[in-house]
Structure 1
Amino acid sequence: MSEGNQSSVTEFILTGFPGLHPEYYGLVSAVLFVVYLITVIANVAILFLFATNRSLRKPMYYIILNLTVCDLLFSTTTLPKIISRYWFKLMSISFLSCFVQMYLVHYFGSVNSFILFLMAFDRYLAICHPLRYSNVLKNSTILILSFTAWVVAIAAPLMMAIRAYPLPYCASNIINHCYCDHIGITILACTDRTPYALPAFVTAMITLLGPLAFIIFSYCSILIAVSKIADLQNCFKSLSTCSTQLIIISLYYLPRCLVYFTSYAGIRFSADVRIVVIMFYSLGPPMINPLIYCLRTKEMRECLWKQFYRRIMPQKGQVLTIS
């Protein structure tokens, strides 16, 4: 009999935050709903700014556009289900839906990592090789690289899902998480998960640490290049162009590295603390990133102000006409 025919589990139960008392379910669902609403509105606003302002049709903003789409899709993959878990007490998720969610969670995470790699590459060329920047990073080049990132990211999560799906799930169906992920699912399999967990872990580390290694290299190179600038004002100006990307990259990588390395070092947290940290680095950046773009990027601030100015001025003109 194949392993796939041994599974008796037809659905999984998402615990969410295991230690949360039922009286706080309404509050948690409301907070998560607000987070999702802000995330959708903020990211859609960025997409609208990009669509309506030709001044943003530059390599750096194409990268931000890709990151915005990825953040929006990731939040839509994870948040509605956990909101319904607390709002409507819909704790179960079908067997197939759980694997689809697992695939999408890891897929969008991989895409995010590759896009951050492109973001660092953009700043590296702009500061360390400014004369070659316009020739190397054209809009067409960024579109090709971005498309490649979305395509290349398909393989590893798909391999993880295909290898995990046929495993025999015949015991507990409770996933101690807010959404389905590879570890949360495969740990429930009634078989030795080492042959499946090790390749998945290595793949995740390559996807995470590969781009991170280049990001660290690029920003070290930027610091060295900037330190050679005699003019202090130009030095700060060069560094300020990297500040937005550094904040975004830090929000994505630092909490993830903390979770992975503490787990490797044998440092154990309670299930609630671990899930809160994971939810922070999973759902925080998609909500915060648009705010960072608009506050830290001059052209986006100007485009946002123009849109606001266009909405306000006609109303003022109507008031003056009536009076």
Structure 2
Amino acid sequence: MSYPNHSSPSSFILTGIPGLEDAQFWIAFPFCTVYFMAVLGNITLLLVIRMDPNLHLPMFYFLSILAAIDLLLTTSTVPKLLSIFWFQSHEITFEGCVAQMFFIHSFSTAESGVLLAMALDRYLAICKPLHYSAILTGPTIAKLGLAAVVRGIVIITPLTCMVTTLSYCGPRVIPHSYCEHMSVVKLACGDTRPNSIYGITAATIIVGLDSILIAVSYVLILREVTGLSSREAHLKSFGTCGSHIGVILLFYLPGLFSFYTQRWGQSIPAHLRILVADLYLLVPPMLNPLIYGMRTRPIQERVLSLLWQKGIQPPAQVLTSAHH
């Protein structure tokens, strides 16, 4: 099917995971489980922080923003992905595809900004404790959270607008599970270099700048911690920083892998590229509540107390660990 110049197709066809079409029905089950855990974990985190006045602190406000972004990010993609895998619902309208692309990339950019704000919060709490409350006031936290979201919208809006101005001719089939920017641009005819250059430049600057600043903050934190005399404090701080850095790497590395291989990774099997891209939108939102939230003592104790009130007795070893 062909389209005249400057036209947009009424819809696209999302294939799912190219090369694994026969296995997609079964792949959907672990995907659905991870999505359920991500939704449950992030909603629990939001409710616990909202209900407990003792958790109305900068770190937990940033956690709330991160949880809200993760909920929006996964829900903008996973239901459609599951409908493709289970019900062969491959078609997506052009407008729906552009909207999905906007949500995926803007919320991913916003999440990067929130992770940076959280690293700043930890740096100030550990390295500048006397100035912590004076710097991270309520209005400052709101401005940082808003800045992260606005930055994502401002950077990604031109990207999605550029996609709508392209002419699409030939196949409408997107070899992907969702409307990722480059996978859609590849279906356009004419000069798509501005789209490619803008997309790659934006991703490189955002990830490069944010990850460098996050790395610097954690290096400074670890340097401060090594000056402590307590071995227990060393181990606890290294364990916490290590788990945080692990989640951050799980967010950045698959994202960059997915983005760059869409442009230059044709030698990498398509099913591997798409699987990594799918997991990139699922695994960090599932792990964030566990690593940042449930491993944090005040949240852990609050969740356990709620379970106790509901008549669900937590395992003895969990109760013991919560009070150490």
TM value normalised by structure 1: 0.88
Q: Which residue of 2 aligns with 1:32?
A: 31
Q: Which residue of 2 aligns with 1:17?
A: 17
Q: Which residue of 2 aligns with 1:180?
A: 179
Deviation of residue 26 (structure 1)? 2.8
Report if the CA contact (8 A) 1:119-1:245 is conserved: no
Report if the CA contact (8 A) 1:115-1:149 is conserved: yes
Structure 1 residues 261 and 192: CA distance shift in structure 2, 3 A: closer
Deviation of residue 33 (structure 1)? 2.6
Structure 2 unaligned residues grouped into runs of 5+? 314-324
Structure 1 residues 291 and 276: CA distance shift in structure 2, 3 A: same
Q: How big is each residue's C-alpha offset from its partner over 1:250-280, in whole Å with a ceiling of 9 and x where there is no partner?
A: 2212333445577888683100011111112
Worse-superposed segment, 247-256 or 226-235 = 226-235
Cα separation, 2, equivalents of 1:147 and 1:296: 26
Cα separation, 1, equivalents of 2:239 and 2:56: 21
Structure 1 residues 40 and 265: CA distance shift in structure 2, 3 A: closer
Q: Which residue of 2 aligns with 1:299?
A: 298
Q: How big is each residue's C-alpha offset from its partner over 1:27-72, in whole Å with a ceiling of 9 and x where there is no partner?
A: 2333333332222222111111112111111111111111100110
TM value normalised by structure 2: 0.88
Report if the CA contact (8 A) 1:9-1:171 is conserved: no
Q: How big is each residue's C-alpha offset from its partner over 1:195-224, in whole Å with a ceiling of 9 and x where there is no partner?
A: 221012111212221111101111122222
Matches within 5 A, 1:43-192: 43-192=42-191
1:252 aligns with 2:251: yes
Q: How big is each residue's C-alpha offset from its partner over 1:86-123, in whole Å with a ceiling of 9 and x where there is no partner?
A: 22211010111101111111010011000000011111
Worse-superposed segment, 229-238 or 107-116 = 229-238
Q: How big is each residue's C-alpha offset from its partner over 1:164-204, in whole Å with a ceiling of 9 and x where there is no partner?
A: 11100011211111100110111111012112210121112
Report if the CA contact (8 A) 1:227-1:235 is conserved: yes
Amino acid at match of 1:12: F
Report if the CA contact (8 A) 1:67-1:112 is conserved: yes
Report the aligned-residue RMSD: 2.3
> Secondary structure at 2:310's aligned position in 1?
helix
Report if the CA contact (8 A) 2:159-2:199 is conserved: yes
> Secondary structure at 1:153's aligned position in 2?
helix
Alignment size in residue pairs: 311
Deviation of residue 230 (structure 1)? 3.7
Amino acid at match of 2:18: P
Structure 1 unaligned residues grouped into runs of 5+? 315-323
